[in-house]
Chain A
Amino acid sequence: MAKLPEQGHKNNTGNAGIFSTGLLVVGISHLYSFFAPVSRIMKRSWRILFLLSLSATVSATVRAQQALPLAEQTYGDSLARMLHSGVSDSSKALAAYLLSDFWRSKDTAKSRSYLLQGRQLAKNYPYLVAIYHFYEGQYYFNTDTKKAAQAFDEAKTALLPLHTPAAIQYAAVSWFNYALMMRNEKGDSFVIANVLNKAIPLAEKAGDMDKVGHFYVQLATLLMNNAQFAKAELYNQKAIDLLRSRGPSATTLFFAYLSATSTFVFDDKLPQAKASLDQARELIAPYPNSINYPLYYYNEGLYYEGAGQYAEALVSLDKGIALAGQFHQTLLLQTMVVRKYLVFFDEKDYRKAKTFLMGVVKEGSLMAETNNRRTIYFQLAEVNRRLGDMAEAYRWSTEYSRLGDSLQKVQLKEKIVGLEARFQNAEDQKQIGLLAAEKTRAELAARNSRLFNWLLGTVCILLALTAVFSITFIRSQRKVSQLKLARAMLDGEERERKRIAQDLHDGLGGMLAGVKINLSGWAAGKPEQPRDAELYRIIDQLDRSVGELRHIARNMMPETLLKFGLETALKDLCEFYMGEDVHIEFQPFDIHRSLSLPWQMNIYRIAQELLSNAVRHAGATNIILQCSQNGPVFLVTVEDNGRGFDPAQQGKKGMGLTTVHDRVSYMNGKMEILSAPGEGTTINIELNTYGGQ
């Protein structure tokens, strides 16, 4: 990169020094001190508030001061020479950019033509193409905040992949200017955050201490505008220390001194303000034609105002106003006009203040902006009130209110439009959201129903399985429990039967026998031997009673089973049922004595029931009872030649077979009933004695 000729502008090497463009904003900041009070703290507070309400809509008319080198004339000339006689397109392009920046507040047409010329020359250089956006932003800086913000945004993006110190410097300034352009939208905190987190670190990374100092100054100005004077003073001091160590003649240092001056004035630290101001004057003194003189005069006026030297203040402000008009520094001009009025006000020279304000109204340049007009109306009302001209005060107050109303209306309308737009947008978003939600819901519903179906299916299958298992389990359990119950019942029944049988047999039976014996003995003991038929009839009745009792007792409990086992008991049973016209053939085969007593009892009961049926119900005359054991198998067959029955009709329930069936189940057995009317009955029972031994 070509070395730029510089005069009276000590800076570090190369292009870095040319970057003074980034300093432009300092003027904007001062706008915020527009009505800032100087002498009285009380006044300060309301004026600051007032000022802030004004500042909100001011950005569109911002006219910032340019931070050109103090020796700007020679600077412009040297750039022009370089553009014409440059050795390369790249150096020419850079010269064109810088010329565009040089001219942008003096002659926008010239500025634009240089900008386009620079872009033409920069075509083949990515770095120069990237910084075109920066200079485009500079071009729009004072005229179109939005376009400027966009350009700076593009610049910092385009510079991101470039890692040369120069590119990083441009990136730092792009970040800074971008933040400034976004100030109205996002507020001071956004700017402060970007300065601290983006601009300053990038500048440090690029090694551009001049830029770092500049950013400190800007930071201080922002803080001052937010009435954070202590912090502002701190950053001002940092900037001054940094810049002084690098060379006392830098433009940035000049701005740092001026920033410190206003901060000190507002903070009522007049001696420090004076010192700073003196330093600034020392720096600018060699350049009487510098465009930075209006800013110097403004600060000088501010200082005098603060010091109560109103005449001197007015002189300074008049000088500044004249020069600002000459350099088209509109914002600064307005600031100083308002400042002048405030000096009159502070002086309590209300008549002069009023006359001055009326001049401003007549002149009209400050009246273009509604907000400014409103401020002026307010001040007119105020100054007339101080003059005792209440009618006038009321008139301006009404004007002020009316303007406020209409302004509010405009603002309201804008707000409404904005809100509407946002609402519409939100509505659209909502519609989209609703549709999306609808779709999602439909999908979800479909998926859910699919899932639900699966789930339902699975649950059904599970339920079915559970049901099957449950039924099987319950059945088996029921069977088991039924068997258990049956067993318990049968066992209990047998115990009870045994007890009752013994009671009958040995108790009642014995007693009856005793009665009979006593009676017989009594009768026998009589010497006359009364052959009374009646007595023997009674004794016979007793005999039959005992016989009947034995019968009952036997049915209750086969004593022989307990004493001699199943086979003997069954044999006795058969003999018991046998009579003149009933023959029972008992066929035992291999019945083991080792069978458990409950089993023997059960088999006995089965045989008893079946024989009883054959004798009593079937009217059989020939019966076979066959019991045979072969290992675990125990077979019982009862066959008769009785009248028979239809098993399908009468079923198992008939003829007291239910209990037989229960007992068979209890012994893991099977029962087969073969019968037909007139053909007798055969009942085959197969028992399995596993576990029953």
Chain B
Amino acid sequence: MAANKTRVFLVDDHPVLMEGLKVLLQNNIDLEVAGCFVTGESLLAALLPEAPDIILLDIALPDINGIALCQKIKQKVPDINVLIFSNHSERSMIMQAIQNGASGYLLKNASLEELRDGIHDALHGEIAFSREVKEIISRPSRNELAGPPQLTRREKEILRLVAEGKTSAGIAAHLSLSVLTVETHRRNLMQKFGVKNTAELIRTGMLQGFL
């Protein structure tokens, strides 16, 4: 019985949460909480002798941030599943965590079902996200459908002036800007349109209706 039970390590610097989580996991999901750690250092030290099946890892730790710690864990014991269990809801955090080998990302306001599902998914080799995390991840993709690059007013102005044959210096004088600023805008424009020179820039600009 005991051998079949999934063994889990908890890493969190917050004792109240850790205590509650421990009770919750043991009572409701039938997991064995094999260890509780407050620091990344202590976790790493306990890792090798008795590797758990899964680690619930907080990001905010006193000695190391959880995402970096995740990478170290995966380097040390690649088979271990690491679930980030954090209050951080930034997309970059989530993506970075996945990139560092995390099996999923759960926000701490996740429901018991989400927690259970997440652990289950992770143990079965899937990437596990809580509902809110899924929302966060999906948001940019929705916005990326916007199509052609948006140009700022300043960029449109400069594109127009470039098309008129003005040099950077001329444009700078005309707009009361420094030459470097104009050059920067030109460079940005070319990046936006994915072009290599001014002629292409003007052509693409015309094609996309900015001129």
Contact = CB atoms under 8 A, between A and B. Distances in A.
22 contacts: A502-B60, A505-B60, A507-B14, A510-B16, A510-B87, A511-B16, A511-B17, A514-B14, A517-B17, A517-B112, A518-B23, A521-B28, A523-B112, A550-B89, A560-B90, A560-B93, A575-B90, A575-B139, A585-B143, A637-B154, A674-B153, A684-B154
A560 B86 CA distance: 13
Nearest to B176: A672
Contacts of B17: 510-511, 513-514, 517
A630 B184 contact: yes
- 5 A-B pairs closest in CB distance: A521-B24, A514-B17, A510-B14, A513-B108, A518-B20
Interface in B37-70: 58, 60, 65, 67
Contact of A515 (B20, B111, B139): B20
Interface string A542-559: 110011011001100001
A589 to B, nearest CB: 5
A394 B206 CA distance: 152
Interface residues of A, number: 59
Nearest to B16: A514
**Chain B: interface size category:** 35 or more
A563 B93 CA distance: 9
Interface string B147-166: 00110111000000000000
Contact of A525 (B19, B28, B146): B28
A549 B87 CA distance: 9
Given A516-B108, A550-B87, A633-B184, 15 more contacts: A511-B16, A518-B24, A521-B23, A543-B109, A559-B93, A560-B88, A572-B92, A575-B91, A578-B139, A585-B146, A624-B150, A629-B184, A633-B178, A639-B153, A682-B152
Nearest to A525: B27
The SS class assigned to the B binding surface is helix
Contacts of B180: 630-633
Interface in A533-585: 539, 542-543, 546-547, 549-550, 553-554, 559-560, 563-564, 568-569, 571-572, 575-576, 578, 583-585
Given A525-B28, A575-B140, A563 B87 contact: no
A564 B14 contact: no
B103 to A, nearest CB: 20
A197 interface: no
Given A509-B87, A510-B87, A635-B181, A628 B188 contact: yes
Nearest to A589: B188
A643 to B, nearest CB: 16
A358 to B, nearest CB: 133
B26 to A, nearest CB: 9
A74 interface: no
A587 interface: yes
A511 B20 CA distance: 10
A686 interface: yes
B32 interface: no
A510 B185 CA distance: 45
A547 B140 contact: no
Interface in A514-534: 514-518, 520-521, 523-525
Contacts of B192: 587
Contacts of B18: 514
Contact of B91 (A520, A543, A572): A572
A585 to B, nearest CB: 5
Nearest to A623: B150
Contacts of A117: none
Contacts of B150: 585, 587, 622, 624
Interface string A628-652: 1111110101010000000000000
Interface in A286-314: none
Given A569-B92, A585-B146, A587-B192, A520 B111 contact: yes
A604 to B, nearest CB: 13
Contacts of B187: 589, 628, 630
Interface in B90-105: 90-93, 96
B41 to A, nearest CB: 17
B191 interface: yes
A563 B65 contact: yes
B13 interface: yes
B121 interface: no
B183 interface: yes
Contact of B108 (A509, A584, A639): A509
Contacts of B91: 571-572, 575
Contacts of B173: none
A620 to B, nearest CB: 13
A564 B187 CA distance: 25
Contact of B14 (A506, A568, A584, A674): A506
A626 interface: yes
B34 interface: no
Nearest to A513: B108
A514 B109 contact: no
A308 to B, nearest CB: 133
Contacts of A513: 14, 17, 87, 108-109
Contacts of A550: 87-89
A515 B15 CA distance: 11
Contacts of B177: 686
Contacts of A502: 60
A682 B157 CA distance: 13
B123 interface: no
Contacts of A637: 152, 154
A554 B89 CA distance: 9
A684 to B, nearest CB: 6
Contacts of B20: 514-515, 517-518, 521
Given A505-B60, A513-B87, A525-B27, A630 B93 contact: no
B21 interface: yes
Given A514-B17, A520-B24, A575-B136, A626 B188 contact: yes
A510 B92 contact: no
Interface centre among B91, B108, B115 (most CB of A within 10 A): B108
Contacts of A628: 184-185, 187-188
Contact of A521 (B58, B112, B136, B154): B112
Given A550-B89, A572-B90, A585-B146, A524 B112 contact: yes
Interface string A668-693: 00000010000000101010000000
Contacts of B88: 505, 550, 559-560
Contacts of A524: 24, 27-28, 112
